[in-house]
Amino acid sequence: MMDPLDAIRRDPPNVWLTSFYGFDPGSWGYLGFSTPGQRKGFITRSEPGVLVVVYGTGTAAQDELGKVIGVLQCSHRVNNAKAFMSPVAWTAKEKSAESAGKWDLGVKATRAWRVAPETRPPIADFANETYTPGRGQAIGSQGMPLTAAEALKLLDLDLQEVPVFGEIPILEAAFGKGADVLVPSKPGPVSQSPFVVREAEGPKSLYILALDGDTSAFLGRDAGLQKIIKVGVSKTPIGRCDDHNRALPRGAFAWRVFRSNDHVGAMPFPKSRAAIEGETEMKRVLVAHGQSLGGEFFLADDEAIEQAWESGMNKANEWASQ
């Protein structure tokens, strides 16, 4: 797949423009179209590794409207949107009159970067040749390729790599200029550049972290006997738990590993894909039988947590055996 810098410097560049109602690739891991012809047109006119510049429109936050808010790198892998979305995001999408049944023809994103909120350029300045208000609907529904001069402006954006749903987790990332941050993604070593640290491809475990402490006090409402949990995949669940605890001030709350492959005497899954599918299955169960607290965080009782864990492990084992 073409690397980002090559996509920018191609003649013509392999860089497109579209609009979203916000930018959350950790939940929406794809570029969506509403008709087969729109998706086919994008795939026919681009190459795998295409960069898609995103500006805010519609119901995006006020400080995102009309500004460049993110960049996706897309493969040419296609499927229904549900396969490329967090179960939490899919459920919310289908419950909303704004989005139900829309953008269901997906092209999978593999990497993503958000633009620093303080330096988001207006789309009219960034894409001064391609964008006009009259083209807004066409840009949002089918996308448009950027010119060479516009594509080169990516190198000067302040970008931070962010997680993409269904891809290997990113552990830590800093902002940097596009020229430094838009480097090829490699399977290892873990440290990819001075700006981003991601887990390398290889054996991964499922995990559930539980937040110890007064759950009702933390939420500001009665939680009954439910727990706050986080689900995920990692080479080292204990290490991830330590990372989350370092982000908390010392006090009455702390994360602990509630379930992991090691805790139940299971070996890590040999490839990340199996664990990622297991994580998605855990989220699906928790959406149905618990409450989303955003991202990978949920509020659930012991029965729902156990059901999610068993279902996630079963799904991951199915994938690992293929």
The tens digit of pLDDT for each residue in 145-183 reads 999 999 999 999 999 999 999 998 887 788 889 998 998
Residues in Cβ contact with 249 at an 8 Å cutoff, skipping those fewer than 6 apart? none
The verdict on 190 and 245 lying in the same domain is: no
CA-nearest of 102, 59, 110 to 82 is: 102
Identify the pLDDT of residue 225.
94
Residues 241 and 255 sit within 8 Å (Cβ to Cβ) = yes
Question: Peptide bond preceding 249: is omega within 30 degrees of 0, i.e. cis?
Answer: no
Residues 44 and 158 placed together within one structural domain of the fold: yes
**Could you tell me the two tokens for 138?**
């066409």
SS (H, E, C) 257-304: EEEECCCCCCCCECCHHHHHHHHHHHHHHHHHHCEECCCCEEEECHHH
Give the distance from CA 147 to its chain's centroid: 27
| 241 shares its domain with 177 | no
The string of pLDDT tens digits covering residues 266-302 is 999 998 999 999 999 999 999 999 999 988 999 999 9
pTM value is 0.81
* pLDDT per residue as tens digits for the range 40-84: 999 999 999 999 999 999 999 999 999 999 999 999 999 999 999
16 lies in the same domain as 144: yes
- Give yes or no: residues 181 and 256 share one domain: no
Residues 151 and 38 in one domain: yes
195 has pLDDT over 70: no
User: Per residue in 254-265, pLDDT tens?
Assistant: 999 999 999 899
SS3 44: helix
In this structure, the answer to whether residues 183 and 264 fall within a common structural domain is no
- Structural domain total, the chain: 2
- The pLDDT tens digits for 93-133 are 999 888 889 999 999 999 999 999 999 999 999 999 999 99
Q: Tell me, what's the pLDDT at 192?
A: 47
* Per-residue confidence band for 188, with pLDDT thresholds at 50, 70 and 90: very low
Express each pLDDT in 137-149 by its tens digit: 999 999 999 999 9
- Domain end, chosen from 180, 198, 216, is at 198
Alpha-carbon distance of 37 to 47, in angstroms, equals 17
Instruction: State which of 157, 182, 198 marks the end of a domain.
Output: 198
Is 27 found in the same domain as 168?
yes
Residues 171 and 300 in one domain: no
CB 56 within 8 A of CB 24: no
For residue 124, report the phi and psi dihedrals to the nearest 5 degrees.
-65, -30
Same domain, 134 and 78: yes
Domain boundary among 183, 198, 213: 198
- Strand partners for 234: 205
List the domain range (segments joined by +) for residue 47: 4-198
Comparing 82-91, 162-171, 303-312, the range with the smallest average pLDDT is: 162-171
| Co-location of 73 and 143 in the same domain | yes
Q: Answer yes or no: do 29 and 64 share one domain.
A: yes
Give residue 190's pLDDT.
43
